[in-house]
Amino acid sequence: MRALITGINGFVGPYLQHQLKAEGAEVYGTTRRQSSCKEIYQLNLKNQDHILRLLNKIKPTHIFHLAGLSNVKESWSNISETLETNTIGTINVLEAVKKYKNHVRVLTIGSSEEYGKISDGIYKTGEKTPLNPLSPYGTSKAAVSMITQNYHKGYGVDVIHIRPFNHIGAGQKKGFVTADFAYQVAMIAKEQTDSNKITVGNLASFRDFTDVRDIVRAYHLLALKGFSGEIYNVCSGMAVKIEELLNTFISFSSKEITINVDPEKLRPSEVPHLVGDCTKLTELTGWEPAIPIVNSLQDIYQDWIDQL
Ligand code: GDD
């Protein structure tokens, strides 16, 4: 495999790079800014010709299109930018691939946020669950999933759309729930703040969490074994209440911690319950998550402790 990872310097990119290299792949990446590393190229995803020139230079067999805006809360204050970066950015990649003379498989990264509010009575969302996104981010990724189908059916582009549910690990930025919680608990544990109060958003929602190291293993397997034009969920199938996640982080510290719900951290609308069904992926590849959530949470917490 000769892989090209767009947005290689984001949260998932370095983990995917590591996984692919361990599997013997040659890995190249793109970032928005210039890089001193010779395998990493600066790329403007608004420029289709630039993307095509890069494909002709690298000649990848697989493109993992990770680049995009991923923060659900922030998508409410950046609606146009979210739609443009995620949707038009993907169209530009697919357009370049359409013009590219060699065969390349594209893996687009969507999200469980595409499903949004699911109908009463459905507990786990499979790939056929109707899309009903409740955030601009979810809408952008739902549009990506549909556009990939157009390019596949219309132009025969070899594309697989992946819908990961929440993925977590060391290195994820603040602004995502496990980083926000672990950072604040670690600050208190290391006595780097005057108050033992932590601020949080909605604790009542349920999400399906998978360690990022398991997620990238699934991306690699889908690149090799996925069927062209198909959509695959990647998830654990387990619902975790956000409040429970917070209590686990608090249990890692010996301090007394008080909790303050900050209305600023709530979203204009949000999905109450998102749990996935990844039977399609498991039956095809044998993939199952291997890292228990408590280990992921410990690693994330320890990473913040080490950083502070
Ligand atoms: N970020 C954050 N910070 N979320 C909080 C907080 C907080 O202090 N307190 C409670 N929450 C709640 C959110 O309201 C949401 O219900 C849940 O924790 C998870 O929030 P995020 O970590 O921001 O993730 P998300 O579910 O909105 O989206 C993530 O998962 C998607 C896949 O399902 C992102 O990683 C997306 O990029 C990804 O596609």
Question: Does the Cβ of 127 fall within 6 Å of ligand 1?
Answer: no
Q: How far is CA 143 from the centre of its chain?
A: 16
Calculate how far, in angstroms, residue 113's C-alpha sits from the geometric centre of ligand 1: 10
Share of the chain above pLDDT 90, in %: 98
Ligand 1 center from residue 146 Cα (angstroms): 23
Ligand 1 contact via 176 beta carbon (within 6 Å): yes
Q: Give 150 Cα–ligand 1 centroid separation in angstroms.
A: 29
Q: Whose CA is nearest to atom 2 of ligand 1?
A: 177
For the CA of 245, the nearest atom of ligand 1: 18
158-209 pLDDT tens trace? 999 999 999 999 999 999 999 999 999 999 999 999 999 999 999 999 999 9
- CA-CA distance, 237 to 103, in Å (whole number)? 34
* Ligand 1 neighbour 300 (Cβ under 6 A): no
CATH architecture of the domain with range 2-169+209-236: 3-Layer(aba) Sandwich (3.40)
From the CA of 113, give the closest atom in ligand 1. Answer: 33
End-to-end CA distance of the chain, in Å?
38
Confidence category of residue 122, pLDDT binned at 50, 70, 90: confident
DSSP string, 81-133: HHHIIIIIHHHHHHHHHHH-SS--EEEEE--GGGTBSPPTT--SB-TTSPPB-
The mean pLDDT value for 2-26 works out to 98
Helix, strand, coil content of the chain in percent (nearest 5): 45, 20, 40
**How many whole angstroms from 177 Cα to the centroid of ligand 1?**
5
- Matching residue, tokens 């109060």: 197
Task: Report residue 264: phi and psi, to 5°.
Answer: -60, -25
Total-model pTM: 0.98
C-alpha count within 13 angstroms, C-beta hemisphere, residue 45: 25
pLDDT at 121: 80
pLDDT band at 120 (very low <50, low <70, confident <90, very high): confident
pLDDT at 139 over 90: yes
* Residue carrying structure tokens 């950083």: 307
